[in-house]
Structure 1
Amino acid sequence: SAGNVLPAVPHDLAENRSDLLGASLACVSETDSFAVNVDFSPDGQPRFTGWIPDFLKRIEQDLNFTCNLRLPPDRKWGTLNPDGTWTGMVGEVVAGRAEFVVATLDSTVERARVVDSLIPISTTWTSLYMKAGSQFGSPWIRYTEEFSPSAWIVLLAVVITTTIILYLVMHRSPGETVTWELSETLLIVTGLFASQGFCGCPVNVSVRIFLLTVIALAILAQTYYSAFLYAKLSDTRRPVPFRTIQAIIDDGSYTFGMMIGASIQGEFLVSKDPLLRRLYDEFTVPKGLFSEFTDVFKRLENERYIAALNMLSVEAETRLNPCRLIRLPIKMFAFKAGFALRKKSPYKKIFNNAILKALNTGVLDRLERQWAFTSPSCASIEGVPINLAQTMSAFLFLLGGMITASLILLCELLLRKYRKLSSST
């Protein structure tokens, strides 16, 4: 019956419209890893390549319009200034100088107030990067990091205490024929912790039991030390010095960087998280901000610097040497990203339909795969030989011992010569 008929949805002309009648739109774009690459012609005009410009050409043909693509004057993406104005591509749209943002512009709360984001075509993952250290860590702590500082102090106290007790037990035990001097006892106990033996076998049971206890303790400590060292040598992953934002703040020696005008800066500016606010106010502004990717990679190589970067941008910039940076296991921001139009633009539904069609038919996936780059793994299945720099601390320790022994020998010879002269007179 007529009462069961559902009411029709009002007809929307934009749903079926596929011809913009040759309209010419002012568009802005910016360098975006594999999505948008920019170089310049001899006359200084920008040339855009990548899967985003390829997709733009496709929808230009499908919808019969032309996009006059250019770069924003300040070469920024778009953040809100304290005076209420906007920078970058977002600023161009807000000021009416552009209609269309052709890039994977992150959709944030602040930007949503001034531009209309279209259906997302990608996700921007932001991670923290720093210069990759040596697989073996610092050569100066290579042979001491097996135990914590407090454990080394306890171990030293155990060696000293054990030496004194063993000396007293041997000298106080009735009938014991093997008695070492205190300095000799210290040398023997230290040797036990280095898997060395000794000459002479104590007679009394009490001395033997104590000596066996010392040997067992030395074997246990030496096993822990060796196991850590072997595991470190067999692990081909790069060491990760920081695992939390708090750890970066507590260290205090690194500058924290981010791109001026990027969405990550906007999120830090409006964040209520006290850790993020402190990280931004104390470690970022102003010396940590950068405007060009070439600048940030130089700083990562040459300074104590940690940067919040787009993962895809890092892959694009480091594809020739992907293992020079390390990504810290700290969760940061993830943004849905895509094209954007000026607020209340009549083209919004038309472009959304075109993007939805490209997503459903796999066009965007194919274009993205054509420009994608697969980063090789930085973890080798083969062991890496220890180089001279990593053994330098051990050699310097040996050299220090040799020099010390030589100086003491010289002093002994001079003292002996002095005594001979004194006795002769």
Structure 2
Amino acid sequence: MNVHDLLKVIISFASFSGIHILEFDSVTNTSGRGNLELADLSRKLQLLIAKQGVLSLEQCMSYYNILMLMFSPLLLSAKSYPRKLFISVISSKNELQAYKDTERDWTALRLVVCSDDLLSAVSSLPWPLNNRALILVPEEVGLSAWEAYRASAAVPAVYQRLSAVSVPPLQQQLSVLRREPWYRRTNLTGLVMRCLSEDYPPFSMTSPLPDGTVTVSGFAGDVWSSLEQQLSFKSECRNPDDRLWGSLDASTDRWDGILGQIQRGDSDIAVAPYLVNEIRGRYFEFSVALYSSWESVIVQKPASFSSSSNFTREFTPASWLAVLGLLVTLMLTMKIFSKCMHSYRAWSDCFIDNIQMFCVMGYDGNKSERISHRIWLLTALLACLLLNVAYSSNLTAILLSETNELPIKTLQDIYDRRSEYSLGLVGDTFAVDLFKFAGDNDVLLRDLWREVISKDPRNIASEKANVERCLEDSKHLAIMDYHYYIDNFADCRLTVLPEKVITASISFPMRRNHPANPIINFELLKMSESGVLQKLLARWHGGGRACESELLHALGLAETYTAFVLLAVGVTIASVLLAVENFTYRTKLRRLSLKLFK
């Protein structure tokens, strides 16, 4: 392996990775330290190879043109955001010590070239978990690529072979070297993550231990346990000192609660569900999205058609008494007319004929030539018809009308009717910051905070207090996390407005620049793509309390039992009467037979 072959590998890797600037450390065997444009380095390499006769000038130009043809799109994109590659060649222990003693950014993109006998020593350098260094070791044919990382200063470094590298390198080899290293770093033995959590069932629930730490269960606890198993690290979780989630004090630019301890560096991560927004993103890193949620407006449900009612309620009790009085009056009138017309009609016939008229089934009784009887009959039929039409039309109007129209549907409606309605937020949540620090770009939220929410101290309260106030006061609305409301406070007397106040990802907040952040994120990404996160969420998110459907449905026994009872009573009475009539008939027949024999 000569310097020309090594430079070929370096140029190929830089071109493939979209790197525009190369910087050689002073410990390398190049002429000093400084930045070289990639194109300049390529031309110098061609001239050097041509001068020494290793390759012809035509071969060099051909090799250079192939490089530019394959990787020029990457080079062009890199010029707008130049990436720098640091190159170091370590050939002795003295150079290794000088490299170690020099203050440098150990997370920068680096290529370190060393001999095989120095590999273990180079690997023991303080490479953090999030370093992006590649170690190239020259071999008899080509090179081998390695990486090293250390989960903790208390444990030895882990170094592993990545790929063989030919001269010039193959595209498959460059792909392995170019790829971000987080997917390969799954052994974090020795790492102890300091985490905080708070109760937010069913997503995070904490149980205290004798040593002052807590165990975390729920959805967030399951996700964290899976990360510990997959990456072989340990954690110490605690409740926040002030038992708060975290709010921003704009005057000091400091957070309290869980977020405050992460901001101060007292903790590394929060194993609890946090909505990601712009304000929080200025201060913290966030994990890959665990799931999506939104803030919704909760309001008391307006009165609607009761599914337990029956159709007899479409007449008031007074109306039904009037109908019953009309039926009795018509029966008496019919009996009187039958006597006057010398046509005998039993009370049972009068009852059946009137029931037929009430059911709009017509009249099958005797027809009279008297005008007075016809007028009575026409009046009775018209009265029954009007009652039936009134009952049917009223019932149809009730069934087809919009009985549960919401008086408020959007935040704009709340603001427009701010003199009638109040709006509550859950304290110590991002919703308070969202409204409180809303600027000119969110005029509606800013005005709601100034003219509605901040007017009454009761408007900032817990989830439970807001729900109870909504149940007591139909003019109070509350904004809270939809999934949390459904899982813990869903009440059939309340409803959720169709407008989503804000939709955001739910993630774990992380301390900025923590070395384990990219590795944890990559593992969470794999869990999301494989469906593991969705399965864990489904296990804990039950969907809330099921309310009886407010939609119209087929009548059950509860609404129609009176008809069945009446039918059963009628059948029973008819059966008894039939038995009595049969007994009477046989008795009369027996007496008649005795008279004939005598």
Q: Do both share a fold (TM > 0.5)? A: yes
Find the counterpart in structure 2 of residue 248 from structure 1. Answer: 414
Cα distance 1:370–1:237, how it changes in 2: closer, same or farther (>3 A)? Answer: farther
CA RMSD of aligned residues (A): 3.4
Cα distance 1:289–1:99, how it changes in 2: closer, same or farther (>3 A)? Answer: farther
User: Which amino acid in structure 2 is aligned with residue 30 of structure 1?
Assistant: E
Equivalent pair of 1:126/1:308 in contact (CA under 8 Å): yes
Matched, 1:295 2:461: no
Equivalent pair of 1:123/1:336 in contact (CA under 8 Å): yes
Cα distance in 1 for partners of 2:402, 2:396 equals 12
| Gap runs ≥5 in structure 2 | 1-61, 71-169, 307-388, 556-598
Equivalent pair of 2:213/2:237 in contact (CA under 8 Å): no
| Gap runs ≥5 in structure 1 | 138-221, 386-425
Residue 129 of structure 1 aligns to a residue in which SS? Answer: strand
Pairing of 1:248-397 with structure 2 (within 5 A): 248-251=414-417, 252-268=419-435, 269-271=437-439, 272-285=441-454, 286-303=456-473, 304-319=475-490, 322-375=491-544, 376-382=546-552
Residue 76 of structure 1 aligns to a residue in which SS? Answer: coil
Pairing of 1:151-170 with structure 2 (within 5 A): none
Pairing of 1:157-196 with structure 2 (within 5 A): none
| Deviation digits for residues 215-264 of structure 1 (CA, Å, limit 9, x no counterpart) | xxxxxxx99xx979845455697441202323222332322111223222
Cα distance in 2 for partners of 1:54, 1:266 equals 29
Find the counterpart in structure 1 of residue 300 from structure 2. Answer: 131
- The partner residue of 2:249 within 66, 72, 81 is 81
- The partner residue of 1:27 within 179, 184, 195 is 195
Comparing 111-120 with 5-14, which one deviates more in the overlay?
5-14
Equivalent pair of 1:243/1:329 in contact (CA under 8 Å): yes
Matched, 1:59 2:227: yes
TM-score w.r.t. structure 2 length?
0.45
Equivalent pair of 1:341/1:348 in contact (CA under 8 Å): yes
User: Which amino acid in structure 2 is aligned with residue 131 of structure 1?
Assistant: Q
User: Which amino acid in structure 2 is aligned with residue 306 of structure 1?
Assistant: L
Equivalent pair of 2:213/2:236 in contact (CA under 8 Å): no
Cα distance in 2 for partners of 1:232, 1:74 equals 54
Cα distance in 2 for partners of 1:240, 1:43 equals 52
Equivalent pair of 1:34/1:51 in contact (CA under 8 Å): yes
Comparing 338-347 with 26-35, which one deviates more in the overlay?
26-35
User: Which amino acid in structure 2 is aligned with residue 332 of structure 1?
Assistant: V
Equivalent pair of 2:199/2:205 in contact (CA under 8 Å): yes
User: Which amino acid in structure 1 is aligned with residue 184 of structure 2?
Assistant: N
Comparing 237-246 with 23-32, which one deviates more in the overlay?
237-246
**Identity in percent:** 24
Cα distance 1:262–1:15, how it changes in 2: closer, same or farther (>3 A)? Answer: same
Cα distance in 2 for partners of 1:348, 1:12 equals 13
Find the counterpart in structure 2 of residue 37 from structure 1. Answer: 205
Cα distance 1:231–1:287, how it changes in 2: closer, same or farther (>3 A)? Answer: farther
Residue 304 of structure 2 aligns to a residue in which SS? Answer: coil
Cα distance in 2 for partners of 1:28, 1:65 equals 16
| Deviation digits for residues 179-219 of structure 1 (CA, Å, limit 9, x no counterpart) | xxxxxxxxxxxxxxxxxxxxxxxxxxxxxxxxxxxxxxxxx
Aligned residues: 299
Equivalent pair of 2:215/2:237 in contact (CA under 8 Å): no
Once the 2 structures are TM-superposed, how far is the Cα of residue 70 of structure 1 from its aligned partner?
2.1
Equivalent pair of 1:258/1:288 in contact (CA under 8 Å): no
Residue 297 of structure 2 aligns to a residue in which SS? Answer: strand
Residue 72 of structure 1 aligns to a residue in which SS? Answer: coil
Cα distance in 1 for partners of 2:210, 2:477 equals 36
Residue 119 of structure 1 aligns to a residue in which SS? Answer: coil
Find the counterpart in structure 2 of residue 148 from structure 1. Answer: none
Cα distance in 2 for partners of 1:79, 1:38 equals 21
TM-score w.r.t. structure 1 length?
0.62
